[in-house]
Every structure is written in structure tokens, then in C-alpha cells.
Amino acid sequence: MYGTGLLKGLSVTLRHMIGTFVTDIRKFPRRYFTDGNHPTRSPEPYLHGTFSIQYPEEKVPMWPRFRGPLVHLRDPETGQPRCTACGMCERACPHGCIKVEGEGKGKERKPTRYEYNVGRCIFCRQCVESCPFNAIELSRFYELACYDKDTIWDLPRLLELGDKEVITEQGQFWGET
Amino acid sequence: MSVQIPPTERLRTDTIEINMGPHHPSTHGVFRMVLTLDGETVVDLEPRFGYLHRGIEKTAEERTYVQNVPFTDRLDYICGITNNWAYALALEKLAGIEVPERAEYIRVILGELTRVMNHMLAIGFLWNDLGATTFTPVVYAFRERERILDLIEMAAGSRMMPSYIRAGGVVADLPEEFMPRLQKLVPHLKRFIDEMDTMLTKNEIFRARAVGVGVLKAKDAINAGITGPVLRASGVKYDIRKADSYSIYDRFDFEVPVHTAGDVYARYLQRLAEARQSLRIIEQAMRDIPEGPVTSLPYKQLSRLKPPKGEAYGRIESPKGELGFYLVSDGSNKPYRFRIRSTSLLNLTLLREMCLGHKVADVVTILGSIDITLGDVDR
Ligand code: SF4
Ligand code: SF4
């Protein structure tokens, strides 16, 4: 009969619509007083029910491997940056967003200027993989919108961001790379 | 009371030329079509593209082989994984690199997940193009895509720009959480495809709009070099996974579905059938995946890679069709030539022939059924 296919299709959408309200009521406290178990990341995929999240209030936790902006890591003993200004990351970056200058020789070598242009970075992680001194890693920050053109981050800022991030070793979540 | 106008005094009509795009929402990006219309009927169509040209082929000649991996993500940004894969294959051929067993399985699993995702999105967007009242399928498709992208993000760190497959294997092993999630996701995706099937296939309005629209004959398709679901929907059983088997596809038991009508409806059915086959491959790969190393060429060696002089062409069956990378090496650490045989561009070549004689509204549907990504057309 003409129209049955249409009605069958509409029954699917109707089921989804009802399912949304049902899960919304069922999961009400958990959904709005969040415990980090967000629908999108829940390991159980389900066909019906709410899927979207209420963004600024609810946030999806990032995976450990999420590639966000670059941060610098500190030496746990001395609290000094581990970077020795060897310039490997500068050469590895496909987009030229890192500029390094340093002074000193051998173990004493320290960066005098480290500029990272987050506006050009494509978060490919090649700088991290090329760093031989375990000095940098990509963080899990993702809210990078800003009102000014403050996109060039210097070493103190990168270290400060690194302190906020739980990553302590390069490639911690990547297995052996 | 109607007045009969003698034929000689009828209103003389003229054709009109209009621009559709580059910002028309139905063109899926920045793509312009110059349509010549006689009333509502298309009498001529000329595709104009190049608005998204980024010069990737030339830029890549100034970067080392490993630095080019992130560029490949940005060609067909719906399926980054398969783009990485095609480039990796070409480079492996050029430099003679072996790939460990486990890495091959990981590639197959992620590549087929990408195919499911791409086909579901293509169906969703086709429905979106058919009319605003059917916005639902694309939202459902996006929901399932998000689940697949979750897995890709878990493994690669980025949803759409994974840069995960590199020459010699993959960047890192799958995280522990990956396999349990995948095991739950596959039956779920099966249910989802069935649901899409129930929801859309028999819909009378859809059939009225899609059956017999934009017919592509097998002979024309072959002559124009069209590949992928569009070709197979025209009745040509050609799939590179079978025809020129790469990676480990010869170990899996799957079929290449074919439809013969060659119209928009056949392409829709084709995508649905292919997504089902992809899930079959994933199930087998999940069962057989061995333990072991995932790369034979760690980053520090790969970044210094200097392939011998020569050339290589690596091609895979990407969700949209044949995707190939042609690399010429002059012995240095940068490619001398980096040529991309992109799928969407070649699939677009017969758009005019498919659209002639149809109404304006059908042009949108036909374009949607070819499933192009403008990042892939313009490069
Ligand atoms: S590669 Fe590492 S140590 Fe060398 S300059 Fe870059 S961050 Fe510093
Ligand atoms: S993540 Fe990639 S683009 Fe960003 S600084 Fe590192 S190498 Fe450059």
C-alpha cells in the first residue's frame, strides 16, 4: 500500500523521540550532576535516548592521547625545564610554528627563547616524537578560543600549562613509540 | 474560461543561466555549478571548482616524507584514516618497508570503520539534500559517526585528522580500552544500519525522488574513470580490495555488492550493502588480530628516511573509490613529485551527463549521491 514505507520510517523516529524523553527522566540526576560518565563516551552504545550533552555545564573528558596544544615538562628533581634548545622540534614541525634559541654547551645548554605559535599548530605531535630529551608533550586542553591575537606562547607559559596537565613523561599514554 | 493562444503568438521563452554555489549549502563545500535552465529543466551544467585549492601537492614537495602525513588527512577530511593508509602504502612500496601483522589488522579495522562512517554520512547527507523535512537521517548518522570517531580519537588522539597510519605500521598500539568498546560497537552499528534500512529504503517519497534519477551507464562510468560505490551501483564489480588486493584483505571473507540500475536509489542501496560488508570484515579482523609490534619503522628512523631513486604508486579502495598516491623519489628525504589521484574529482567528471534533462532539484540529489568532499576535489 502506498505510504506504508513512510509510516514505517516515521515509527523509527517516533521511537527515538520517546526514548529520548524516557532516558532523560531516568538518568535525570546523573545527567545533570555529572560524574564524568557522559553519554557520548559511555562504553555501552545504546540505540535510543539522549546522546548530546549540555556543553558548557557538562564536558566530555578527553582521552589520554588527545592532541591539544604543546606544553613543556619539568625535571621532577630540579623543577627546571628539560628542554636543552637542541632545535629538533623546530626542524620536525611541518608548519614552522616553533622557534628555539639557546645558549650554553652540552648539558648546560638552556633555551633563552622558545616560541610556540599555537595559531599555526595543527597538533600533529611530530615535534614531541622528535624531541630526544623528553621535554615536551601535547596537552589535553581544548578551549583555545580567545579575544586577542595572543597565539604565540613563550616558555614560562608553556611550563605553567604543563604544570596544570597530569602528563609527566613524554609518550606516557602512547605505549612505546 | 481559457483562451486558446495560437502557437505563433505563444510567449517566447529563453534559457537562463544561473550560478549554484559556491556557498550553496547543498554543494557540500565550496563548489559552483553553472546551470543553464529551460524552465526547471537543466539543459547544460558546468562544474567549477578550485575554491578550496591549497596546493598540497606542491607544498608536499618541500616537506620530508613523514611531515607529509598530516597533509594527507586534510584531503578527504571525512575519512582521514584511509588517506593516511594510501600514502603509507605508496611510501612502503617506494622504500620497500615491511609492515608488522598487527599493524595490518589495526589498519583494516580502522579503515573499515571509516567506510561505515562515510557511507552512513553519505546517506544522511543525501537525505538532507532531498529536503529539509528529512533532517533526521543526517543527525542519526552523525550520532553513530561520533561513536566511531570516539574510537579513532582514543587510538590516534584526534577525531578527524588522525595521522595515525604511517609507513611501516601505525603510530602506536591500540589502547587497552579500544577492543572492548569495539566489540560492543559493532553489533550496535549493525542494528543501526538495519534501522536506517527500515527508516529509509521503502519510503515512497524517497523512491519517487531517487529511482531513475541521474542514471549512469556502466560504459560511461568506466570511460570516465569513476570508481567506488558510484561505479559499483552501475553494475561494474570492481573493488580494489578484491581486484588488486592490498594489505591483508585476501584473508577475509566478504562480498562486493553490486547494483545495476545506476541511479540515485541504487547508489543509496549500494552504500547500505557495503557498510554491512565492512562490519563483516571488522568482525573477522577483531577475532584474528594477533599480538606483536605495530611498527617496523619508529619515528626517528622514519624522519630520516631516504627512499632509493624511483617511483611508486600506492592505491587503496577508500570509501569513495580509488585513492592513489604517486611518489617520485630523487634519493633525498623529500618527494620529488607528490601526486594525488583523488577520488572525488574523477567521480565528479560525469556530473553534467547525469544531470542533463533533470529538474534543478534533482541536481542537488545527484550531487549528494556521488558523495564528494571538496577537500579531495581541490587538494
Ligand atoms: S626537541 Fe625537545 S629539547 Fe630540543 S629544543 Fe625542542 S623541546 Fe627542547
Ligand atoms: S604539533 Fe605539529 S604543528 Fe604543532 S608544533 Fe608540533 S610539529 Fe608543529
Is any atom of ligand 1 closer than 6 Å to the C-beta of A135? yes
**pLDDT above 80: residue B257:** yes
> For residue A159, what pLDDT is reported?
80
How many angstroms separate the CA atoms of A103 and A122, rounded? 28
First to last CA, chain B: 59
Q: Best mutation site among A65, A67, A70 for ligand 2, i.e. most ligand atoms within 8 A of its Cβ?
A: A70
**pLDDT above 60: residue B177:** yes
The single-letter DSSP state of residue A146 is -
- Residues framing ligand 2 (Cβ under 6 A): A 70, 92-93, 95, 97-98, 121-127
How many angstroms separate the CA atoms of A69 and A119, rounded? 10
**pLDDT above 50: residue A177:** no
Give me the DSSP letters along B117-142: HHHHHHHHHHHHHH-GGG-HHHHHHH
> For residue A100, what pLDDT is reported?
86
Residue corresponding to grid cell 559499483: B232
**Residue B147 contacts A, CB cutoff 8 Å:** yes
How many angstroms separate the CA atoms of A95 and A77, rounded? 33
**pLDDT above 70: residue B21:** yes
How many angstroms separate the CA atoms of B218 and B334, rounded? 40
pLDDT band with cut points at 50, 70 and 90 for residue B303: confident
Ranges of beta strands (E only) in chain B are 16-20, 32-38, 41-48, 165-166, 169-170, 310-318, 321-329, 335-341
How many angstroms separate the CA atoms of A23 and B228, rounded? 40
Give me the DSSP letters along B258-326: --SS-SHHHHHHHHHHHHHHHHHHHHHHHHHPPPS-SBSS-HHHHTT--PPSEEEEEEEEETTEEEEEE
Residues B239, B257 contacting (CB under 8 angstroms):
no
The average pLDDT across B311-340 equals 88
How many angstroms separate the CA atoms of B264 and A4, rounded? 21
Peptide bond just before B22 cis, omega within 30 deg: yes
Nearest CA to B231 among B218, B245, B214?
Answer: B218
Rg value, chain B, Cα: 22
**Residue B177 contacts A, CB cutoff 8 Å:** yes
**pLDDT above 60: residue A35:** no
> For residue A101, what pLDDT is reported?
84
How many angstroms separate the CA atoms of B29 and B261, rounded? 28
How many angstroms separate the CA atoms of B378 and B193, rounded? 31
Q: Best mutation site among A65, A98, A117 for ligand 2, i.e. most ligand atoms within 8 A of its Cβ?
A: A98
> For residue A42, what pLDDT is reported?
67
The residue whose CA has the least distance to atom 8 of ligand 2 is A93
Ranges of beta strands (E only) in chain A are 70-72, 98-103, 110-117, 136-138, 152-153
Residue corresponding to grid cell 613563550: A154
> For residue A46, what pLDDT is reported?
65
Share of chain B above pLDDT 70, in %: 97
**pLDDT above 50: residue B254:** yes
Nearest CA to B113 among B213, B224, B203, B188?
Answer: B188
How many angstroms separate the CA atoms of B99 and B107, rounded? 11
Name B311's bridge partners.
Answer: B328
Residues B61, B338 contacting (CB under 8 angstroms):
yes
Residues B42, B356 contacting (CB under 8 angstroms):
yes
Nearest CA to B79 among B337, B372, B378?
Answer: B372
> For residue B310, what pLDDT is reported?
87
Q: Best mutation site among A112, A113, A136 for ligand 1, i.e. most ligand atoms within 8 A of its Cβ?
A: A136
Ligand 2 mean position to A154 CA, how many Å?
15
Q: Which residues contact A17 (CB under 8 A, 6 or more apart)?
A: none
**pLDDT above 80: residue B10:** no
How many angstroms separate the CA atoms of B72 and B56, rounded? 9
Most confident of B113-122, B177-186, B245-254: B113-122
Rg value, chain A, Cα: 23
Share of chain B above pLDDT 90, in %: 2
B16-20 and A98-103 beta bridge pairing: unpaired
Residue corresponding to grid cell 613523514: B66
pLDDT tens figures, A119-176? 888 888 888 888 888 888 888 888 888 888 888 888 888 888 877 877 777 777 777 6
> For residue A43, what pLDDT is reported?
64
How many angstroms separate the CA atoms of B75 and B80, rounded? 8
Ligand 1 mean position to A137 CA, how many Å?
11
- Least confident interval from A70-79, A112-121, B79-88: A70-79
The amino acid at B13 = T
Classified as helix, coil or strand, B328 is strand
The average pLDDT across B4-16 equals 70
**pLDDT above 80: residue A36:** no
Nearest CA to B303 among B51, B44, B69?
Answer: B69
Q: Which residues contact A40 (CB under 8 A, 6 or more apart)?
A: A51, A52, A53, A60, B146, B147, B150
- Least confident interval from A46-50, B194-198, B214-218, B314-318: A46-50
Ligand index nearest the alpha carbon of residue A72? 1
Ligand index nearest the alpha carbon of residue A96? 2
Q: Which residues contact B212 (CB under 8 A, 6 or more apart)?
A: B261, B263, B265
Classified as helix, coil or strand, B19 is strand
> For residue A142, what pLDDT is reported?
85
How many angstroms separate the CA atoms of B354 and B310, rounded? 40
Ligand 1 mean position to B84 CA, how many Å?
27
ipTM of the prediction: 0.81
> For residue B8, what pLDDT is reported?
61
Residues A133, A83 contacting (CB under 8 angstroms):
yes
**Residue B304 contacts A, CB cutoff 8 Å:** no
Share of chain A above pLDDT 90, in %: 0
User: Which chain B positions have a beta carbon within 8 Å of A4's beta carbon?
Assistant: 202
Share of chain A above pLDDT 70, in %: 84
**Residue B71 contacts A, CB cutoff 8 Å:** yes
pLDDT tens figures, A122-134? 888 888 888 888 8
How many angstroms separate the CA atoms of A45 and B143, rounded? 11
Q: A155 CA to chain B: closest CA distance, Å?
A: 24
